């Protein structure tokens, strides 16, 4: 069976679909906690990265995409616009997991930085061209400040998005790294990608 066929079979399995559903709840709850407490990290992609590490990039990307679409329909329309960003988070995390970059704590931390870099490539055009650089988030102040001191709007948004996501995605990757080692074997057994992340 080819890798692509195996990924497709894994994606449509009931076990993976249940995992994706749980991840969506985790992501939305994390995001709501951030909104309520105004934390310096977003906490809205832990479920996505967990799915990616356990079940691969297709499942991870689907978890991220569905999270933002559902969240956008329920409470936060801006989240729906950034659904492609959430998809990229899941895909990149899954690829990194396949490459073995969730085996050690340091690799997981670096993976968080890599995820932040790739999501920035997708998020910046969305934020600039759909929202004029302003989305109503706390980071809008940084965009305005950088623009005032001479940065272009595109550069201001890029620096802000990447800077604000580094800490969040490193924390997210470390939480997932810890989870895949602490969760009971009966909960994580059977996921094809787990073998790439457990030393």
**DSSP state letter for 194:** G
CA–CA distance, 182 with 185 (Å, rounded to integer)? 9
* Percent of the chain whose pLDDT exceeds 90: 65
Residue 189: which pLDDT band, with cuts at 50, 70 and 90? confident
pTM over 0.95: no
Domain count, the chain: 1
Which of 7-21, 39-53, 56-70, 101-115 is least confident? 7-21
Rounded alpha-carbon distances, angstroms, from residue 128 to 47, 144, 149: 27, 13, 18
User: How much is the pLDDT for 13?
Assistant: 87
CA dihedral for 153, 168, 45, 177, sign (positive or negative)? positive
When mean pLDDT is compared across 8-12, 88-92, 140-144, the lowest value belongs to 8-12
Confidence of residue 95 (pLDDT cuts 50, 70, 90): very high
| pLDDT for position 140 | 66
For the chain, what percent of residues have pLDDT higher than 70?
A: 91
Residue 16: Cβ within 10 Å count: 24
Distance between CA atoms of residues 64 and 71, nearest Å: 11
Q: Which residue has the higher pLDDT, 193 or 151?
A: 193
Tell me what the mean pLDDT of segment 114-136 comes to: 92
On the question of pLDDT at 181 being above 80, the answer is yes
Q: What is the pLDDT of residue 75?
A: 87
Query: What is the model's pLDDT at position 11?
Result: 45
Contacts 24+ apart (CB under 8 A), 108-113: 108/173, 108/174, 108/176, 108/177, 109/170, 109/173, 109/174, 111/173, 112/166, 112/169, 112/170, 112/171, 112/172, 112/173, 112/174, 113/166, 113/169, 113/170
CB atoms within 10 A of CB 127: 28
CATH number at residue 31: 1.10.1760.20
Q: What is the mean pLDDT of the chain?
A: 89
Residue 152, phi then psi, degrees to nearest 5: -70, 160
Asked if residue 56 has pLDDT above 90, the reply is: yes
Query: How confident is the model over 1-10, as a mean pLDDT?
Result: 50
Residue ranges making up the domain that contains 58: 3-196
């Amino acid at each position: 069976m080819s890798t692509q066929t195996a990924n497709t079979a894994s994606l449509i399995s009931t076990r993976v679909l249940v995992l994706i559903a749980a991840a969506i709840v985790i992501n939305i709850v994390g995001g709501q906690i951030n909104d309520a407490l105004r934390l310096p990290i977003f906490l809205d992609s832990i479920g996505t990265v967990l799915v990616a590490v356990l079940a691969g990039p297709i499942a991870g990307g689907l978890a991220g995409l569905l999270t933002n679409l559902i969240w956008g329909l329920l409470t936060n329309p801006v989240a729906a616009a950034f659904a492609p960003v959430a998809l990229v988070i899941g895909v990149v995390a899954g690829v990194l997991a396949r490459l073995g970059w969730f085996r050690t704590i340091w690799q997981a931390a670096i993976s968080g930085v890599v995820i932040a870099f790739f999501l920035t490539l997708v998020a910046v055009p969305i934020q600039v061209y759909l929202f004029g650089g302003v989305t109503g988030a706390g980071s809008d102040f940084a965009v305005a400040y950088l623009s005032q001191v001479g940065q272009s709007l595109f550069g201001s948004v890029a620096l802000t998005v990447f800077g604000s996501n580094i800490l969040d995605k490193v924390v997210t990757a470390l939480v997932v790294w810890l989870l895949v080692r602490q969760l009971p074997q009966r909960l994580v057994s059977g996921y094809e990608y787990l073998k790439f992340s457990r030393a």
